[in-house]
Structure 1
Amino acid sequence: MKKTSLALAVAAGTLGASSMAQAEFIKDSKASIEARNFYFNRDLRHTTAAQQSKREEWAQGFILKAESGFTEGTVGFGLDAYAGLGLKLDSSDERAGTNLLPNGFGDEGPGEYSEATATFKAKVSNTVLKVGGLMPKLPSVSSNDARLLPQSFLGGHLNSQEIAGLTFDAGQLKELNQRDSTDFQDLSVNAAGGIRNFAFSGKGNQGDDFNFAGLSYKWQDNLTTAYHYGELEELYKQHIFNVVHVLPIADKQSLKTDLRFARTTDDGRSNIDNKYFGAMLTYALSGHSFGLGYQKMSGDTGYAYLNGTDPFLVNYVQIGDFASKDEKSWQARYDFNFASIGIPGLTFMTRYISGDNIDRGDGVAEGREWERDMDIAYVIQEGPLKNLGLKWRNATMRSDALGELDENRLILSYTLPLL
């Protein structure tokens, strides 16, 4: 792990926090450990005999999270901590590269890896400042937790909820630790996984700090609007607008509308230029949900976001994000919660996404792609195995950008409260 001035500041905060023995600091503390067993299999059907034909690995992860309360007084202080351990159960040189473990094709990597961060926090009224290890979940930047260990950042994040219904966020991220890495790295743009048409000068696809700010206002229980700004210094600036409305229709019936628009431009050392529009309509009836989504990219490039994070796109799914240059895509989705028929804990989801009009360059026919996903999940509700979660995720993708992929993920997880 890199030694940065920020990390040293966190260490100093940790030493200071050790003397905090006040009642609220202890009483409001909580901690848990999650055991996550993950099997990943991706069949690369488009490759030749000389290339990697399959990525297949099995690993066991342990995720410890601890959060203190705040000390008493006008300004309260606290400390959070995160630690992760990944253990290799099965891998090989020919099957590596699933992002479960720190390895790649031709090198199955170490048998284990670990990481840890600390976060110093201060609170005044309903405003909280956190400095150190962060896992933000915002439209402008959202930490990815789709593998063995979560992605994390080093930086500062201010969250304020002083006015009823209004949430304000602002901060700066300095470095990130990818989900299959133990080292903090410089920030960059996600330029893989599609046809983006990005071009970079100077230091290439490597930015400086990531600055973010945003406002979200809940007008009524069923209506929320939001604006968020993100800037990866020297590479891109992004403005994101979002409206979410839920219309009650009748008993156990509703229609949810989720509208999104983003404008992204360069910040000096890139050609990034993108307009994004997305819409998702979801009709809910008892345990059933039926969704229709549409997504459109326009401009000189595809959609830009921080490497490895979850982009704020309605058609960002298990494998693809359908965010290539000029791409248009639609989605049909169905969810069912079996609690509505007396089987709590069991859920099912399936969706189909189709994209076309991808700009593949001069003289090349426009690209197309489609993906079909299915999730089946069950959380045991009682008995000695209560809260044990089991999930099967299956996906098939056929893409001019990504190739032909068949994928299965089997995930067992159990979270044990410690405090």
Structure 2
Amino acid sequence: MKGLVNACLQLGALVGALSCSAIGDALGRRKSIFLAGLLALIGQILQCPAFSLAQFIVGRVILGLGIGQLSVTVPVWQSESSSAGKRGRQVIAAGIFICVGFASSSWINFGLGKVSFQPIQWRIPLAIPILFSLVICFSIFALPESPRWLLNGLPRDNEHVRSEISRIQRSLEAVQGASLRDIFATVGGNLISIYTTAIFEDNLHLQGDLPQILAATSLTWKLLCSFIAFAAIDYLGRRVVFIVSGTGMSLCMVVMAVATSFPASNHAASIAAAVFIFMFNLCYPIGFLGGNFLYTAEIAPVHLRVAMSSISTANHWLWNFIITMITPVALSSIGWKYYIVLAVLSASVPLVVIPFFPETMNRNLELIDLVFREAATIWDIVPMARSLPKGDSRTEVESSGEKDAEIGRVEQREVA
């Protein structure tokens, strides 16, 4: 039942993410974000005063609808409205605020757990996020609409449109792509974030306040480590942070499997498991705090961006639903072997990134698109992308389709 109640939010988010493929481009970015904030607000209002499990679950599903729509629309809106040099850090900043939410909620839960009046212990933590949903609903229309969405569908030969496109291309790199979200959702992030207290209590057999204190401390540590991603995403590049993060998470899960395989009386093994929960919270945000969402938005073409983000984010929430649903059962039935499954999934990240995912940092992404079209095989994409020019003096690629009947011919010119 614990897994079902937790997972119903992910199920709602799955539906919410898929709905963006139908309404995202029709409503625009700001209206979509407003609708998502409104749905989240309705779900929170239903959850907070719930006097039955059915009402609570309905509230979580509606809240999930809003969260799913936000997880699709916000990264797209950020990537379309940010300059090329700031895009990575601005998307990562959103992930940092997610870590703030996890850390603060765990400390709030710990503090209110000391209150003798039981309804206050869980109703107040559910009421606090209402304030943030109100902020979204009341502030979003004070912010600018995505310039790319405004220009989408207008005739390209219009002089004003051509001028505006040229201006945007100097400040924003185009976006073309694929996604890591399907991998990200299966590497154990939800396990460590949602079930940390349960791991300390049920797997490591800690007692009293210690499990909650350690869980809250580990999530606070995760928040601090998230600033590594903020610094690294536009310095080391997307591929490096994905590879380092996936490798580190896999090693942490292997150690967790070994440590939790010993009897609870083995004090050293329990300490090792606790330490590597903290190590996991170091490795996870380096690559998957928001870099995976950024990469999705960077690789999708403008006219397919919302649809592709919608599908990939829906897949993300589907795997989150599965992980959240099965984790309590898996921990109680197969125990330490569950960490082996997650270790293998984490290890798949570098194995996929190294041969298939081209670097997008400091590359003109129209040229990346050209690489995808001209590569003879999928094995040629990464080497070809590696040879592309980098830096502020970049090559802008323009299709000469209207001037030439020959499809695929491109013209390159240096942009000052």
TM bin, normalised by shorter chain, reads under 0.3
TM-score normalised by the chain length of structure 2: 0.24
TM-score normalised by the chain length of structure 1: 0.24
Structure number with higher strand proportion: 1
| Larger RCO of the pair (alpha carbons < 8 Å, separation 6+) | 2
Structure number with higher helix proportion: 2
